[in-house]
Amino acid sequence: MNYRSISDLNDIILKKLYLIPRDIDLIVGVPRSGMMPANLLALYLNLPYTDIHSFIKGYIYKSGARRQFFDSSDYKKILVVDDSIASGSALRECKENLKHLTSKFDFKYFVVYATPENADAVDYALEKVTTPRYFQWNIFNHTTLEKACFDIDGVLCVDPTAEENDDGEKYTSFLLNAAPLYIPGSKIGTLVTSRLEKYRKETETWLHANGVKYDKLIMLDLPNAKARQKANCHGSHKANEYKSKKYNLFVESELGQAIEINRLTKKPVFCTANFKMIYESESFAYNIKSGKYLPFLRKAGLKLRNVIRRFNGKKVAKSKVSVSPN
């Protein structure tokens, strides 16, 4: 599993900006995912930019103006930008849309991320990233979410406040009226929540009202909030479902639980608390007692593999590599 954040995207563009020829006249982004790197490139190179559909109609965006009609004689060398290439189908469609303009313009094609087998299909690819892969800007619309598990509170909707979380009328009202957060455009495989089974009807009502598509909803079968607090099994409850081979991603809102789910399953977990993907290295470096990452890793600036070598294959104390559910 490979994951790239918006910060990663920006960093790699800045790092490899020197690869872009300085005789480019115009940046053209491929909606929607290509518009963000196109905008960044236009800003860093101080160039006008537009989207591909506006370009075909003869419009560009310039500093201080919303949209302007342009004279084709002023812009000859065009950099067409997308975020990534995988199968190459989007690139082929893009080239087909621009085919009637190839006699007027010199088109070059750019992506930030390319699969190794298709990197040569474009003129410029900044980084080779193999599949499966997720990007922060499209993770909630990825076509493979049917192979994913999702938490609900803190992911699909806001968390309840302490006042709302009364296991009574206020909590019921929250379940029916919670403000939505990240509603995926694609169908989710399974929702796994620590909400109690007795609130299934209210939960399903909210999911339907907010357009959440999913195959299965797994809830915690305990009588009340007091029993749930005593069981303290949030992470293990979610990990038990995620262990199934059919899933390749879990989306969790709370960092401690995300790390524990990863520790129990050895599978990646995307955490909406920091919009990062949690891998095994995160679980290794997390301290159960303090709820923080091991400080010597930060101070020494050591990479995880170097730390592991220092232990010479010995197991680290359990209290230093696991987390307790919240």
Note the pTM of the prediction, 2 decimals.
0.80
Dump pLDDT digits (tens) for 11-27: 999 999 999 999 999 99
Q: What pLDDT does 74 receive? A: 81
Q: What pLDDT does 287 receive? A: 58
pLDDT surpasses 50 at 300: no
Structure tokens at 143: 């076509």
* CATH class label, 139-320: alpha beta
Task: Name the residue among 95, 71, 72 with its Cα closest to residue 82.
Answer: 95
Structure tokens at 61: 């965006």
**Mean pLDDT, residues 98-126:** 95
pLDDT surpasses 50 at 117: yes
pLDDT surpasses 70 at 295: no
DSSP state of 33: T
pLDDT surpasses 90 at 259: yes
Compute φ and ψ for 37, nearest 5 degrees.
-65, -30
Least confident of 53-67, 163-177, 221-235, 297-311: 297-311
Cα 13 to Cα 217: distance, rounded to the nearest angstrom: 40
**Mean pLDDT, residues 140-148:** 91
pLDDT surpasses 50 at 237: yes
DSSP-based three-state secondary structure for 95? helix
Q: What pLDDT does 142 receive? A: 86
247 contacts: CB under 8 Å, gap ≥ 6: 147, 148, 149, 189, 190, 241, 267
DSSP state of 185: S
pLDDT mean across residues, the chain: 87
pLDDT surpasses 70 at 136: yes
**Mean pLDDT, residues 261-271:** 95
Q: Checking phi first, is residue 301 left (phi over 0); if not, alpha (psi -120 to 50) or beta?
A: left
pLDDT surpasses 60 at 236: yes
**Mean pLDDT, residues 98-127:** 96
**Mean pLDDT, residues 209-235:** 95
**Mean pLDDT, residues 180-198:** 97
Q: What pLDDT does 157 receive? A: 98
Cβ contact 185:138 at 8 Å: no
Residue 41 sits at the vertex; the CA angle it makes with 35 and 45, to the nearest 5 degrees, is 145
pLDDT surpasses 90 at 308: no
Q: Where do runs of H (alpha helix) occur along 266-326?
A: 280-284, 295-300, 304-310
pLDDT surpasses 70 at 289: no
Q: What pLDDT does 305 receive? A: 53
Output the 3-class SS for 152-165: CECCCECCCCCCCC
**Mean pLDDT, residues 248-261:** 95
Helix axis angle for 255-265 and 234-242, nearest 10°, is: 40
pLDDT surpasses 60 at 296: no
Give Cα 12 to chain centroid, integer Å. Answer: 17
**Mean pLDDT, residues 75-79:** 94
**Domain ranges, ordered by start, for the chain:** 2-134, 139-320
pLDDT surpasses 80 at 257: yes
Domains 2-134 and 139-320 agree in fold: yes
Cβ contact 156:183 at 8 Å: yes
CATH 3.40.50.300 applies to domain 2-134: no
